[in-house]
C-alpha cells in the first residue's frame, strides 16, 4: 500500500477518534451538569426545609402561621379547576409534612409568571383576527359531514383559538426516519425562514447532517431559529452548543435553562416537536432530533415513532405555536404578521387543525381532546402511547366506551426506557382490562408515537403522551385530522402495529400478587407528581 494512502488513512482515523472523543466529552459534561443542577436543587430544598423546621421548633408563632398557610393552600388546592388526582398527592404531602409540602408546592405549582399566558395569547390573536370568517365557514362544512367532529373542532377554536383548515395536504410517515428524510429534503428548498423546536437535540450523526443543511441555508440568507428544551437535552449536548450554532448564523436558544438555583417555572418543559419552512411546509410528530429516533442506535430494541408533514394553510398554526414559545424564552416582540400572513393553499380533501397545550393555563386542551374522542367513539378507539398514567375520569371514560361495545385498544412499549414509569404504566392495566379495554405491548421494542384514532375517521397525533407530565406540566402540540388520506394511512399503520404486539389483557385481568399490587399502589399514589 502506498505510503501516502496509509498516512491518509491514519490521519482520517485520528480525526474520527478525536470527533468521537469530543462528542463523548460533551455528553459527559452534560451529565455532570445535570447532576450538579440536581444536587444543588436538593441542597437548596433541604436548606429551606431545615431553616423552616428550626423556626417551627422554636416558635409557636411560626407553627401557627404554618398551620394557617397549610389550611389556606389546601383550600386553594381543593378549589382549583383541575383534576382531583392532581390535587390529592399535594394535599397529603402538605398535611403530613407541612413545611416540606408547602415549600415544594410553592416551588412547583403555586406561583407563576402572570404575563406568560397573556403574552402567548397575544401571539395567537394574530391568527384569530384574520381567520374568523374562514373558520366559521369550515366549521359549517364540517358540521354537514360529521357533527361530532365539528363539535371537537369548535371546542379547539372557542377555548384555545386554533383554527380548523382545509387546503392543506397531509402526509403520514409510519417511521420517524422517513419523516426525517423528507424534512431534510424540504429544508434544502427553504428560501426565507426555518423555525425548529424540539424537546431533545443530540449532537449526534442525525443532527450533524441537519446542521450542515442549516449552515448552508444560513449562508444563503435564510433566517433560522432553533429552540430546544434545556433539561430534555442536558445529557445530550453541552452548554456551548447554542453558542457554537449562533456563530454559524443559526439563532439558537435553550428553553427554560436548567439552573442550580430554585425557580418557579422549572417544572414546565417544552415537549413540542415542530419544523416550519417558509410558512408553507411543516413537520411534527413524536420524534426528537436524536439518533435513536431514526434507527441509528437501538437502546431499547426497535424504536417506533411517527411523523406528519403538512403543506398549505394549516402550517400557519404551527408557525404561531412556535412563535409562542420563542416569545416566552426570548421576550422578543417578533412582527408575527410577516411569518403568518403567507397565503399558500394546496387543494386537498379533509380538515386539519393543529393545536397546542400550555401548562400556564387552566384549560387542559390535549386531555380534553382525548376525552372528547373517547366519548364520541361508536365502533373503535385505538391509542398508542409510551406512557400510560391517567386520571380516574379517563379510566372511567375508557371503560364506559368498552362497555357500550366500542373496541378500545391501547398500545404501550414492550421494552421500557424508564423502568419505574413502566411499572406505573402497567399498574393501570388491570383496572382497564377488567372493564373490557384491550391492552397490547409492542414486542419489537419501545413505542414513542403518540396518536389516537376514533372510529377510523378522526385522528389526534403529535407530542402528548397519555400521562400527567404531558397533559398537565409540558408545552405540547398536536394535530386533529379528519377526512384526509393520512387518516387512512394511520388506520393501516395501527393494524400493522397490532400484528407486532402481544395482547396482555387476559394476563392483567386476573391481577397479580399482593406484594406487586402494594408496590403499584404506592407508585400510583405519586403518579401525578412524576
- Enzyme catalytic residues: 271, 273, 278, 448, 450, 455
Instruction: Write the DSSP symbol of residue 106.
Output: I
Distance CA 480, CA 487 (A): 10
Asked if 442 contacts 304 with a C-beta cutoff of 8 angstroms, the reply is: yes
For residue 189, with 0-12 CB atoms within 10 Å meaning exposed, 13-18 middle and 19 or more buried, which class applies? exposed
Asked if 448 contacts 381 with a C-beta cutoff of 8 angstroms, the reply is: no
Within 146-252, where are the H helices?
147-160, 176-188, 205-219, 230-233, 240-247
- Cα separation of the two ends of the chain: 59
Chain-centre distance of CA 498, in angstroms? 24
Q: Which of 328, 257, 266 is nearest to 108 (CA)?
A: 266
The residue length of the chain stands at 530
Contacts of 281 (CB under 8 A, 6+ apart): 186, 309, 310, 311, 315
Torsion of CA 100, 104, 105, 107, to 10 degrees: 140
Asked if 437 contacts 410 with a C-beta cutoff of 8 angstroms, the reply is: yes
Torsion of CA 503, 507, 511, 516, to 10 degrees: -90
Instruction: Write the DSSP symbol of residue 472.
Output: I
Amino acid at each position: 500500500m502506498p505510503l501516502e494512502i496509509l498516512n491518509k488513512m491514519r490521519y482520517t482515523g485520528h480525526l474520527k477518534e478525536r470527533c468521537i472523543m469530543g462528542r463523548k466529552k460533551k455528553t459527559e459534561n452534560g451529565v455532570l451538569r445535570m447532576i450538579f443542577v440536581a444536587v444543588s436543587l436538593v441542597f437548596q430544598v433541604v436548606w429551606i426545609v431545615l431553616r423552616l423546621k428550626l423556626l417551627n421548633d422554636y416558635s409557636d408563632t411560626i407553627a401557627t402561621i404554618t398551620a394557617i398557610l397549610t389550611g389556606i393552600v389546601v383550600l386553594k388546592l381543593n378549589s382549583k379547576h383541575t383534576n382531583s388526582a392532581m390535587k390529592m398527592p399535594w394535599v397529603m404531602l402538605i398535611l403530613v409534612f407541612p413545611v416540606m409540602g408547602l415549600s415544594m408546592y410553592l416551588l412547583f405549582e403555586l406561583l407563576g409568571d402572570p404575563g406568560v399566558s397573556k403574552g402567548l395569547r397575544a401571539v395567537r390573536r394574530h391568527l384569530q383576527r384574520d381567520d374568523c370568517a374562514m373558520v366559521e365557514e369550515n366549521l359549517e362544512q364540517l358540521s354537514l359531514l360529521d357533527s361530532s367532529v365539528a363539535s371537537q373542532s369548535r371546542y379547539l377554536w372557542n377555548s384555545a383559538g386554533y383554527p380548523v383548515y382545509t387546503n392543506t395536504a397531509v402526509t403520514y410517515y409510519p417511521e420517524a426516519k422517513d419523516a426525517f428524510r423528507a424534512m431534510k429534503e424540504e429544508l434544502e428548498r427553504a428560501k426565507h425562514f426555518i423555525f425548529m423546536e424540539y424537546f431533545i437535540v443530540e449532537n449526534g450523526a442525525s443532527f450533524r447532517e441537519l446542521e450542515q443543511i442549516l449552515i448552508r441555508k444560513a449562508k444563503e440568507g435564510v433566517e433560522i431559529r432553533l429552540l430546544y428544551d434545556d433539561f430534555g437535552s442536558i445529557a445530550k449536548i453541552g452548554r456551548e452548543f447554542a453558542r457554537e450554532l449562533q456563530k454559524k448564523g443559526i439563532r439558537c436558544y435553550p428553553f427554560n435553562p436548567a439552573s442550580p438555583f430554585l425557580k418557579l417555572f422549572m417544572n414546565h418543559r417544552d415537549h413540542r416537536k415542530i419544523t416550519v419552512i417558509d410558512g408553507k411546509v411543516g413537520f411534527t410528530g413524536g420524534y426528537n432530533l436524536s439518533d435513536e429516533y431514526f434507527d441509528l442506535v437501538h437502546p431499547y430494541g426497535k424504536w417506533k415513532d411517527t411523523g406528519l408533514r403538512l403543506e398549505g394553510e394549516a402550517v400557519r398554526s404551527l408557525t404561531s405555536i412556535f412563535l409562542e414559545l420563542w416569545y416566552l424564552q426570548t421576550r422578543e416582540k417578533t412582527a408575527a404578521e410577516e411569518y403568518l400572513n403567507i397565503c399558500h393553499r394546496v387543494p386537498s380533501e379533509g380538515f386539519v387543525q393543529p393545536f397546542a397545550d400550555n401548562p400556564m393555563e387552566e384549560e387542559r386542551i390535549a386531555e380534553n381532546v382525548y376525552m372528547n374522542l373517547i366519548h364520541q367513539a361508536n365502533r373503535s378507539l385505538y391509542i398508542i402511547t409510551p406512557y400510560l398514567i391517567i386520571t380516574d375520569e379517563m379510566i372511567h371514560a375508557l371503560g364506559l366506551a368498552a362497555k357500550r361495545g366500542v373496541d378500545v385498544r391501547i398500545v404501550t412499549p414492550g421494552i421500557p426506557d424508564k423502568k419505574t414509569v413502566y411499572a406505573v404504566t402497567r399498574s393501570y392495566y388491570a383496572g382497564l382490562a377488567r372493564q373490557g379495554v384491550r391492552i397490547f405491548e409492542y414486542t419489537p421494542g419501545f413505542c414513542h408515537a403518540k396518536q389516537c384514532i376514533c372510529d377510523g375517521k378522526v385522528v389526534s397525533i403529535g407530542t402528548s403522551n397519555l400521562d400527567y407530565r404531558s397533559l398537565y406540566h409540558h408545552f405540547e402540540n398536536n394535530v386533529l385530522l379528519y377526512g384526509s388520506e393520512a387518516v387512512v394511512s394511520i388506520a393501516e399503520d395501527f393494524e400493522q402495529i397490532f400484528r407486532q404486539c402481544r395482547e396482555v389483557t387476559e394476563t392483567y385481568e386476573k391481577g397479580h400478587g399482593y406484594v406487586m399490587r402494594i408496590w403499584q399502589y404506592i407508585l400510583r399514589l405519586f403518579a401525578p407528581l412524576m
